[in-house]
Structure formats: structure tokens, C-alpha cells
Amino acid sequence: MTCKLPVIVPDKPWFKVRMDMVTHVHRLPQKSSFLLIFNERIFALDVNPGLIHNNRDGSGAIDCTHWTVWPCDNAEPDRRDMTHLQWFGQFLERANINFFGRYESPPYKPEQIAFAYD
């Protein structure tokens, strides 16, 4: 599921900035991404990513939740365990965004386990 929200830059209201929130509702552990877009990805938080992020500066590979700042080549690991709402709050704080909407938790749907009977 994806939610796209416009972001108003008070000093430059003509800027086309948006925040995207993406959640994989069937995946365990629960994966989500928070992105700030200004023509391209300029700031991001990937929670429980499915792939390893290899830093281009040679500083290593990141296999946990991580932050990236434009040009998004290097990831900063974040090993905290938080809810979606808490990560959302952390993203808003670090991106310096005031959110005036109503937060709704993603509709996570646990994976179904199939049983085979003989």
C-alpha cells in the first residue's frame, strides 16, 4: 500500500515536494518505507528492508532499518525496534515536517499458513 502526501515548504510554496509512505501489508517482519521526494528521493527511512543496502563509499553493507539522505548512496543503520507510528514520528522529526492529518496504522494482514492433510 502507498500513501502520497503533499508537503508544503512555507518559504517556497511553489516547490513540488511530497512524502510517500509505502507498506508491505503481507510481509513479516513488517516492512515500510518513508520517503521525502523533491524531483527525486532526497530523504528516506527503510524499516525492516528486504534487501541489503551496500554503501557506495565502501563503509560496508547495512542489513537493518536505515536512513538515507540525498544523494541516498550511504545508509545510516538504526537498530531500534518501534511501531509504525513511532517510526512515522521519527521520520517527521528528522525531516522537520509538521503533520496535521489523522494517522491510521497500515492494515497489516498476517501471512496465511496453509496446512496439507493426507
**Number of compact structural domains in the chain:** 1
- CA dihedral sign of residues 53, 104, 93, 42: positive
Does a structural domain hold residue 70? yes
Q: Which three cell numbers stand for residue 15?
A: 516547490
Does a structural domain hold residue 102? no
Does a structural domain hold residue 101? no
Q: Are strands 40-47 and 61-62 parallel, antiparallel or unpaired?
A: unpaired
Grade residue 113 by pLDDT with cuts at 50, 70 and 90: low
pLDDT digits (tens, 9 = 90+) for 35-60: 999 999 999 999 999 888 888 888 88
Largest alpha-carbon pair distance within the chain?
68
pLDDT at 69: 94
Does a structural domain hold residue 116? no
Does a structural domain hold residue 114? no
For 75, the domain range is 2-95
User: Cα separation of 65 and 57, whole Å?
Assistant: 19
Does a structural domain hold residue 60? yes
Within 10 A of 44 (CB to CB), how many other CB atoms are there?
20
**What's the whole-number average pLDDT of the chain?**
89
19 or 26, higher pLDDT: 19
Grade residue 109 by pLDDT with cuts at 50, 70 and 90: confident
Does a structural domain hold residue 104? no
Q: Report the pLDDT averaged over residues 106-115.
A: 66
Grade residue 114 by pLDDT with cuts at 50, 70 and 90: low
Q: Which three cell numbers stand for residue 81?
A: 525496534
Does a structural domain hold residue 19? yes
Share of the chain above pLDDT 90, in %: 65
